[in-house]
């Protein structure tokens, strides 16, 4: 007999089946998008061209090279990536930096619309969101791609200038996270060339190669038979094809082209036991990595390729849930269990478990836990309930239920890249989503069972502990790990299928009333007054592009005064727990997300002290469900199980009792200088967490969200007025005050530094030293559309000037981040942060550059070219943002709130204000920031102190 929950899933699947015409899932080829014009020139160059009007008036231009770091010789290690950089440093038709200068004149910005990437197997350049302003401009953009195919100059001076930039990129990525990822990759590709090609290469090659070395790589591998042009956008595709054929046919075909040598990965001779250590990591984990072969290129052209993918996804979801449930059982020594399913290029499917211990002494328990659960899976498999739950959650996470509301050009480009580089046919994104739904629906319990064994028992397997190398002696040796595996194999296990859960969304409450309705002049909004003291603003709109048809956001004016002044820290700790775990009716947030009963709607909490909020969204057919979930969140909150709270407290106490790292001490010093010890900015100590109890969590929730008289609700979406009115009265006005609290006298935190304040610290490291610089300029500037436009122009120009000086001229960093903050909630406090990483020996020089460039802007302002380029880019960005906002109802809710709370509408009149920005306006903004208050934070590292 089906229980109610299984019946719900079955009805859900039948409804899905009825949505689409029948598609045979026999062995058939994946269809190519008929709207894509795909061709190949006589020289071997492939092209893909497709019309698409999302976004309108723009196009994306790509050139893909089916070549990467694996084609490098040892003496060329890193040159595939170096060559990618040189494409922006001089070509036949665009010498020096003129390609970037040419594009900037039409609002196309380097790093935002102009970029590239290199991997071990491919190199791809893109010009995105290019305005199709005139035919000659399109021709010039195509010439950029033409030059990237065969006209990169690699001039000596440009090569030498770029060595510093790439050295700093190498330094920037020399951190614990990247080093551990590299070591993990080395385990997956044990014995293969992949372990010798990091893409960035070595400093010896970067700083020592000769021009003929990189030209040798370029001329050997950048050739039309390994290249594809991809152009998608709002144009006549046949005319674009004629342009491509006319321009790119003159590229000569390679004579006697070199073949790409295979880079096989040796099979493992049994399980591999090899640990990973690093001097900077502070965690202890066990990773168990399973490798299974990726389908061969010819197999990827068939629907069976998708079925294989989704069978793996369902199997992985079922096993992940099984391990997570087992880790949460009383007596478990496993703090967390995470299973990730991913692709290692087209070499493997990788299933990777990451297990963390409850306490430092439980490292061996992790391996025993893993082995016993895998043995249980091997002997008993998964239940049909587990299969159904996993299948539903794959459907949910892959968003296969969303309604198509258009296809962005980037989706089509990605399909073309998959076709050219990986042999996966470029099926149209809309049809691909429909087909994936049908494939998943066709998968049954018997289809998935064999994948459990194939993925987790019969696969190649790697066991690896991760730990700081200073205490690596506590790790089990490879011999001991093998012994533990043997012992687990001799241990009997019982069948233990997790029980399924369900949640009722039934609500029986006495409806409230809307007692007043008024139009908000000039906004299209209505203000509704509810009899529980709440106020609601409604603005009708169409559905969002993500399938959302209604968005609701309830803000509470409890803010920084929500908690008792003498116990702010304890309540802040409680609020963090509530944000992460709070649900309703005996089920936490994560559990609710996995319930079919909740599919199509969602509720989330934020204890952000500026404006605590409860958010709700609903898809088509789920509006009533969304309102019921909102009501239940407000009236029947649940703060997770006692074991979850115990683990949360234990984890946070353990973390806070560890000695602070150098960077943590530095961050604390900077925060103290900026906020002067404000209680909402101080670190939470372990006592804040040991004080947490279910009763305290309930009180914290009540102080934040328990008084509807402090609630202002914003709603936008598709339901008609009468339907919405009934729902509001039944589920929002019915929320009654359960916790009316007098706010404490805690003011909002704000920067306290005056004049120039410097936090400059020196620390010892055992890896590559670097300095981190963050210079923050601050002033008080009235928030208005005109001032925001002038600040945006200043941000754009300063970003360019800092990149030109610090990156290009000095070779001192890979990237300079310029971020200007001017939020309505900051009440006029505006800051500009200039931050970067660099090598220690030039830190002070670059700091002086930061100050000099700001001073120059204060004195002289921008030139006409800078101002024109900024306007073009910002106007284009504004139009793109408006288009995206139209598709995101949650963003509209936020804008409604900004207008009502602060009298500010970010979109209103922006284009007109931007057109009126003068050099004097920009100089004025710079003067107010540059001659205001400055916080300079410098974290220096040095290895010579050891």
Taking only the tens place, the pLDDT of each residue in 433-474 is: 999 999 999 999 999 999 999 999 999 999 999 999 999 999
Run of H or E residues at 9? helix 4-19
Q: Is the pLDDT of residue 827 over 80?
A: no
- Domains of the chain, start order: 37-248 (3.30.830.10), 272-407+416-489 (3.30.830.10), 514-731 (3.30.830.10), 756-942 (3.30.830.10)
At residue 80, the pLDDT reads: 98
Burial of 782 (0-12, 13-18, 19+ CB in 10 A): exposed
Mean local confidence (pLDDT), 606-610: 92
Q: pLDDT tens across 130-159, in order?
A: 999 999 999 999 999 999 999 999 999 999
What span, in angstroms and rounded, lies between the C-alpha atoms of 850 and 856?
A: 10
Mean local confidence (pLDDT), 308-331: 96
Q: Is the pLDDT of residue 374 over 50?
A: yes
Mean local confidence (pLDDT), 170-176: 92
What span, in angstroms and rounded, lies between the C-alpha atoms of 837 and 823?
A: 26
At residue 3, the pLDDT reads: 43
Q: Is the pLDDT of residue 15 over 60?
A: no
Q: Cβ atoms within 10 A of the Cβ of 660, count?
A: 12
Residues linked to residue 772 through DSSP beta bridges, in sequence order:
837, 939
Orientation angle between helical segments 785-802 and 919-930, nearest 10 degrees = 80
Q: Is the pLDDT of residue 936 over 90?
A: yes
Q: Which of 18-22, 680-684, 695-699, 801-805 has the lowest mean pLDDT?
A: 18-22
| 0.75 exceeded by pTM | yes
At residue 945, the pLDDT reads: 42
Helix (H, G, I), strand (E, B) or coil at 815: coil
User: β-strands 514-520, 771-780: how paired?
Assistant: unpaired
What span, in angstroms and rounded, lies between the C-alpha atoms of 418 and 230?
A: 12
Q: pLDDT tens across 515-528, in order?
A: 999 999 989 999 99
Q: Please give the backbone phi and psi of residue 829, each rounded to the nearest 5 degrees, phi first.
A: -80, 115
Mean pLDDT of the chain: 93
Q: pLDDT tens across 28-73, in order?
A: 999 999 999 999 999 999 999 999 998 899 999 999 999 999 999 9
Q: In the structure, what pLDDT confidence band is assigned to residue 8 with cuts at 50, 70 and 90?
A: very low
Helix (H, G, I), strand (E, B) or coil at 127: strand
Mean local confidence (pLDDT), 856-861: 98
Residue 120 tokens, joined: 């071990």
At residue 659, the pLDDT reads: 86
Greatest alpha-carbon pair distance for the chain in Å reads: 83
Show the beta-strand stretches assigned E in 239-279. 272-273, 276-278
Per cent of the chain over pLDDT 70 is 97
Q: pLDDT tens across 333-352, in order?
A: 999 999 999 999 999 999 99
Mean local confidence (pLDDT), 690-714: 96
Q: Is the pLDDT of residue 219 over 50?
A: yes
At residue 365, the pLDDT reads: 98
At residue 54, the pLDDT reads: 85
Per cent of the chain over pLDDT 90 is 84
At residue 823, the pLDDT reads: 80
What span, in angstroms and rounded, lies between the C-alpha atoms of 677 and 662?
A: 19
Strand order in the sheet with 114-118: 37-40, 46-51, 227-233, 58-65, 123-131, 114-118
At residue 6, the pLDDT reads: 41
Q: In the structure, what pLDDT confidence band is assigned to residue 741 with cuts at 50, 70 and 90?
A: confident
Residues 6+ apart with CB under 8 A from 310: 394, 436, 439, 440, 443
At residue 405, the pLDDT reads: 65
At residue 11, the pLDDT reads: 38
Residue 825 tokens, joined: 């909630």
What span, in angstroms and rounded, lies between the C-alpha atoms of 511 and 871?
A: 52
At residue 25, the pLDDT reads: 53
Q: Is the pLDDT of residue 23 over 70?
A: no
Nearest to 51 by CA among 317, 305, 233, 201: 233
Residues 6+ apart with CB under 8 A from 437: 16, 19, 20, 395, 400, 401
At residue 861, the pLDDT reads: 98
Residue 803 tokens, joined: 């990149």
Q: In the structure, what pLDDT confidence band is assigned to residue 195 with cuts at 50, 70 and 90?
A: very high
Q: Is the pLDDT of residue 880 over 60?
A: yes
Mean local confidence (pLDDT), 97-110: 96
Q: Which of 155-169, 643-657, 685-699 has the lowest mean pLDDT?
A: 643-657
Q: Is the pLDDT of residue 776 over 70?
A: yes
Rounded to 5 degrees, what angle do the CA atoms 91, 97, 101 make?
Answer: 115
Mean local confidence (pLDDT), 328-336: 91
């Amino acid at each position: 007999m089906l229980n109610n929950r299984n019946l719900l899933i079955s009805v859900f699947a039948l409804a899905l089946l009825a949505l689409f015409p029948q598609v045979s899932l026999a062995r058939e080829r994946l269809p190519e998008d008929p709207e894509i014009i795909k061709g190949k020139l006589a020289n071997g160059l492939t092209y893909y061209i497709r019309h698409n009007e999302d976004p309108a008036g723009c196009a994306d231009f790509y050139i893909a090279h089916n070549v990467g770091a694996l084609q490098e010789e040892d003496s060329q290690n890193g040159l595939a990536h170096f060559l990618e950089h040189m494409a922006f440093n001089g070509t036949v038709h665009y010498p020096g930096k003129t390609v970037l200068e040419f594009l900037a004149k039409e609002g196309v910005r380097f790093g935002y619309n102009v970029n590239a990437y290199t991997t071990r197997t491919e190199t791809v350049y893109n010009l995105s969101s290019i305005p199709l302003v005139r035919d000659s401009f399109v021709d010039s953009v195509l010439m950029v791609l033409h030059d990237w195919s065969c006209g990169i100059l690699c001039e000596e001076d440009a090569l030498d200038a770029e060595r510093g930039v790439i050295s700093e990129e190498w330094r920037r990525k020399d951190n614990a996270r990247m080093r551990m990822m590299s070591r993990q990759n080395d385990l997956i590709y044990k014995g293969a060339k992949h372990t010798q090609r990091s893409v960035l290469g070595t400093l010896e090659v970067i700083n020592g190669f000769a021009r003929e070395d990189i030209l040798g790589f370029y001329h050997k591998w950048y050739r039309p038979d390994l290249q594809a042009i991809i152009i998608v956008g709002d144009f006549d595709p046949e005319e674009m094809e004629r342009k491509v054929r006319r321009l790119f046919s003159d590229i000569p075909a390679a004579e006697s082209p070199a073949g790409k040598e295979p880079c096989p990965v040796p099979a493992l001779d049994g399980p591999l036991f090899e640990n990973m250590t690093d001097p900077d990591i502070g965690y202890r984990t066990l990773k168990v990595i399973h490798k299974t072969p990726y389908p061969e290129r010819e197999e990827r052209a068939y629907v069976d390729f998708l079925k294989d993918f989704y069978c793996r996804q369902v199997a992985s979801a079922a096993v992940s849930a099984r391990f997570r449930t087992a880790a949460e059982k009383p007596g478990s020594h496993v703090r967390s269990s995470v299973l990730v399913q991913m692709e290692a290029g087209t070499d493997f499917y990788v299933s990777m478990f990451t297990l963390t211990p409850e306490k430092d002494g439980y490292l061996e328990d992790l391996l025993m836990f893993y082995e016993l659960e895998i043995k249980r899976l091997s002997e008993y498999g998964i239940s049909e309930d587990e299969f159904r739950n996993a299948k539903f959650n794959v459907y949910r996470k892959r968003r296969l239920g969303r309604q198509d509301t258009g296809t962005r050009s980037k989706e089509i480009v990605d399909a073309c890249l998959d076709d050219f580089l990986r042999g996966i046919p470029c099926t149209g994104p809309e049809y691909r989503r429909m087909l994936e739904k049908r494939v998943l629906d066709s998968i049954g319990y018997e289809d998935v069972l064999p994948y459990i064994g194939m993925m987790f028992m019969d696969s190649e397997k790697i066991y690896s502990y991760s730990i700081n190398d200073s205490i690596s002696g506590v790790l089990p040796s490879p011999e001991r790990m093998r012994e533990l595996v043997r012992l687990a194999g001799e241990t009997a296990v019982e069948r233990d299928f997790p029980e399924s859960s369900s949640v009722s969304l039934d609500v029986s409450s006495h409806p409230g009333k809307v007692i007043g309705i008024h139009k908000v002049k000039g906004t299209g909004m209505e203000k509704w007054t509810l009899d529980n003291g709440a106020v609601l603003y409604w603005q009708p709109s169409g559905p969002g592009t993500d399938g959302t048809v209604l968005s609701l956001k309830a803000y509470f004016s409890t803010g920084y005064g929500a908690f008792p002044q003498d116990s702010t820290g304890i309540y802040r700790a409680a609020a963090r727990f509530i944000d992460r775990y709070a649900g309703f009716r005996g089920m936490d947030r994560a559990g609710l997300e996995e319930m079919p009963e909740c599919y199509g709607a969602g509720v989330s909490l934020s204890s952000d002290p500026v404006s605590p909020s409860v958010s709700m969204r609903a898809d088509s057919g789920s509006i009533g469900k969304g309102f019921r979930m909102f009501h239940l969140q407000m009236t029947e909150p649940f703060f997770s199980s006692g074991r979850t709270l115990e683990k949360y407290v234990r984890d946070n106490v353990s973390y806070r009792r560890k000695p602070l790292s150098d960077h943590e001490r530095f961050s604390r010093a900077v925060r103290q200088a900026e906020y002067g010890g404000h209680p909402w900015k101080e670190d939470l100590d372990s006592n804040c967490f040991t004080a947490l109890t279910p009763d305290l969590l309930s009180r914290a929730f009540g102080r934040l969200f328990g008084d509807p008289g402090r609630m202002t609700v914003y709603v936008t979406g598709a339901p008609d007025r009468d339907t919405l009115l009934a729902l509001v009265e039944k589920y929002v006005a019915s929320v009654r005050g359960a916790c009316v609290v007098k706010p404490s006298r805690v003011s909002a935190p704000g920067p306290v530094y005056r004049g120039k304040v410097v936090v400059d610290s020196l620390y010892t490291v055992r890896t590559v030293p670097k300095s981190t610089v963050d210079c923050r300029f601050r002033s008080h500037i009235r928030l208005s559309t005109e001032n925001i436009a002038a600040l945006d122009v200043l941000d754009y120009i300063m970003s360019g000037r800092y990149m030109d000086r610090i990156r290009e001229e000095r070779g001192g960093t890979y990237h300079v981040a310029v971020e200007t903050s001017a939020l309505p909630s900051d009440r006029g406090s505006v800051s500009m942060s200039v931050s970067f990483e660099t090598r220690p020996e030039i830190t002070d020089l670059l700091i002086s550059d930061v100050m000099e460039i700001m001073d120059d802007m204060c004195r002289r302002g921008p030139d006409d070219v800078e101002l024109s380029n900024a306007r073009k880019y910002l106007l284009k960005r504004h139009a793109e943002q408006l288009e995206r906002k139209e598709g995101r109802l949650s963003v509209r809710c936020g804008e409604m709130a900004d207008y009502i709370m602060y009298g500010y509408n970010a979109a209103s009149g922006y284009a007109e204000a931007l057109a009126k920005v003068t050099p004097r306006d920009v100089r004025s903004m710079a003067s107010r920031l540059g001659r205001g208050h400055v916080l300079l934070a410098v974290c220096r590292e040095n290895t010579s102190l050891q």
